[in-house]
Chains A and B, each alone.
Chain A
């Protein structure tokens, strides 16, 4: 680490607002990495992972159908029944290497078709909005950092929200950092310290500014060691994903990160509008893999959306709010190369409320399966993370044995 003005920031602010510097970004009690990507706006699972082998698909989707595998700009085959959208080439490569898995026809326990209610539910991990997010509760359940033997509930340094927002997913008692590329020149470090002190008594601003000062000091140090890619200067999703990977790759960096990407609410001209966000998502997952390097072997990336979209195309070459959809799990730790979940079919009587893909798997079963096998959460811990989820038992075998 090069010592310069910016690296000094970490020690300084830690001393000001936190006590021992070593606590500021203590390693979490796991070497495994988990990245959760929220796809806000409802991804159409039938377009991202098209069940081209289903005989009923064509009658609903008409002009929205993508060419079958092997044709020009056709689907990327997943084994004869499903095909990935052609914009997901990187994910297809991972799938073929056994590092990506798809859960189809999934939905959480909520049935709202409101983006806003359903996103709250997805982040709460329940059929209603809770005061904290499931990922925050999962962080609390992690074993404490071994070397420091931190107090129970001390989760500093375990997680980071990448981007300018703090999603409900990460809200809760566990302290969480946030990082986004800065665009403004910064004042001298001690001015931050004085501002942190001025704000200390404010219940919202106090802890947030203290955390901001701390994570910036850390991020600056980690980023200084990088070879300086221009990528992270931009606020695109792949750039944010690359930055998340850099932060997570540091030995004392966060083990858990949350990112989000929008652009999925394709009510009109879906085929034209969907390719771009899918490419961004794909490039982001590829960036995570390349920046994590050897750590990718111990990484899981989950990409989750609040609900799916109508099976029938609507009148404007798009789709409206629906229910069942896909979820992606990628990473070197994933026992992938499979599409899991029971396929409900697309016959008229199989549709949910005569319009949506019938969900057959509770989304929480996938998340619980990853939290259990990848991060070692016990059954009681899983019950804390996802209250009232006894009916959604963890899917086994999602993660490769260590």
Chain B
């Protein structure tokens, strides 16, 4: 049971009761509706309106720069981190973070900050137990992705707008969608496919000016003519783009690539090939049902081999907060904390998102900082006996040598630092 909490969840929260049947507990989270709501956060249309107004203010009065987008981002990170720290459906939450990283956007690109939070809430979260094709379409139409991978200004050179203004395409989104979101780098596409897909996606843009800013298909910027992608013909127009995305979402190479990523995330850095095969088959048999795929991962015997994965800094921070029962507001500026630990929230360096293998997170200095931060939060542990606390959090996964080191520690704080810095807590 302790294993299910760390492998598929976010670590035990305080002394919450341990579910008796781990598989049933995981299944319920997939089958029940998402318990998390964000009633106070604005939708992406409102976020884009804020962005538009802030830009206008900046033009009129540059020195008195508004902080509204920054405030919006802070509210988003705070609410979404708090959800992870408090949720009673942590498996579902892990899937939200997993798919959000699969379809990574980054605050390193200007303009994304206003909609990064809305992106996760609108394009990722509603689909984590739904169909992959629906998630893909929601992502590709979302302003955050269209801004991040530069598709908003991609204009077909032979479209009316292209001919009038002498403008053209940008193939960034098309390439990364094929390589990172669907088929995978080994999915058998060529440069010609990238170019064709970029033509298909011309005109997939956003409207920032209207009363309801958001996705806009700019027919006048769309490259005329049918296109060939992986040997299949797609008609011109928005419908052709939708058809191409539906085709990519259900392609066997896509299922295989997604299965490999899921298995690497939940089973092991190098997952068994037959496990990947079975998860891919489940995706194929269900037409890309992501809830079914998640349960296929749970059904793998290898997924129950304990502590094969290293927690990323985000997992580690959330697991510490849950174990110590800290709330987001008691951890001021969690963004700076995650930045210091090497995984600033929604800010991966490149569109492939954060890496998912132990070696990628085992830079010596990075691990030293985990220890430093663990030491800082250990000072906030409440009155419980540290060894009891460790027993509650990890159960049978706690090793005798860690228990012995904790018993010998000179202070409650040192004992908890030793626990949070132990390999059994840093792994999951």
Binding site for B on A (CB under 8 A): 40-41, 112-117, 161, 164-166, 171, 177-180, 182-187, 191-192, 194-195, 197-199, 201-202, 204-206, 208-213, 215-216, 262, 265, 267-268, 314-316, 318, 320-321, 353, 355
Q: Kindly identify, within residues 320 to 378 of chain B, every residue whose CB is under 8 Å from any CB belonging to chain A.
A: 336, 340, 342, 349-352, 358-360, 362-369, 371-373, 375-376
Q: Tell me which of A114, A185, A201, A353 contacts B423 (CB under 8 A).
A: A201
Residues of A within 8 A of B276 (CB): none
Q: Which 6 A-B pairs have the closest CB atoms?
A: A315-B168, A212-B364, A184-B372, A166-B363, A212-B368, A202-B423
Contact A216 B365 (CB under 8 A): yes
Question: Nearest Cβ in chain A — how far from B177, in angstroms?
Answer: 13
Contact A180 B162 (CB under 8 A): no
* Contacts known (A166-B362, A314-B170); A205 close to B423, Cβ less than 8 A: yes
Contact B368 A191 (CB under 8 A): no
Task: With A40-B350, A165-B366, A185-B372 given, name 4 new contacts (CB 8 A).
Answer: A114-B185, A186-B372, A205-B367, A212-B365
Contact A315 B169 (CB under 8 A): yes
* Contacts known (A40-B349, A40-B350, A171-B359); A183 close to B170, Cβ less than 8 A: no
Q: For the complex, what is the distance from the CA of A209 to the CA of B170, rounded to whole Å?
A: 44
Q: Kindly identify, within residues 293 to 330 of chain B, every residue whose CB is under 8 Å from any CB belonging to chain A.
A: 310
Contact A198 B368 (CB under 8 A): no
Residues of B within 8 A of A314 (CB): 168-171
Chain B contact residue count (CB 8 A cutoff): 56
Contact B422 A198 (CB under 8 A): yes
- Determine if B243 is an interface residue (Cβ-Cβ < 8 Å): no
**Residue of chain B at shortest CB distance from A313:** B168
* Contacts known (A198-B418, A315-B157, A315-B170); A116 close to B352, Cβ less than 8 A: yes
* Contacts known (A40-B350, A116-B352); A212 close to B175, Cβ less than 8 A: no
Contact A318 B150 (CB under 8 A): yes
Binding site for A on B (CB under 8 A): 108, 149-150, 153-155, 157, 162, 167-172, 175, 179-180, 185, 191, 194, 310, 336, 340, 342, 349-352, 358-360, 362-369, 371-373, 375-376, 401-402, 405, 409, 414, 417-418, 421-423, 426-427
Question: Nearest Cβ in chain B — how far from A250, in angstroms?
Answer: 17
Contact A199 B350 (CB under 8 A): no
Q: For the complex, what is the distance from the CA of A276 to the CA of B376, rounded to whole Å?
A: 35
Contact A183 B336 (CB under 8 A): yes
Contact B175 A113 (CB under 8 A): yes
Residues of B within 8 A of A195 (CB): 371, 417-418, 421-422
Residues of B within 8 A of A201 (CB): 423
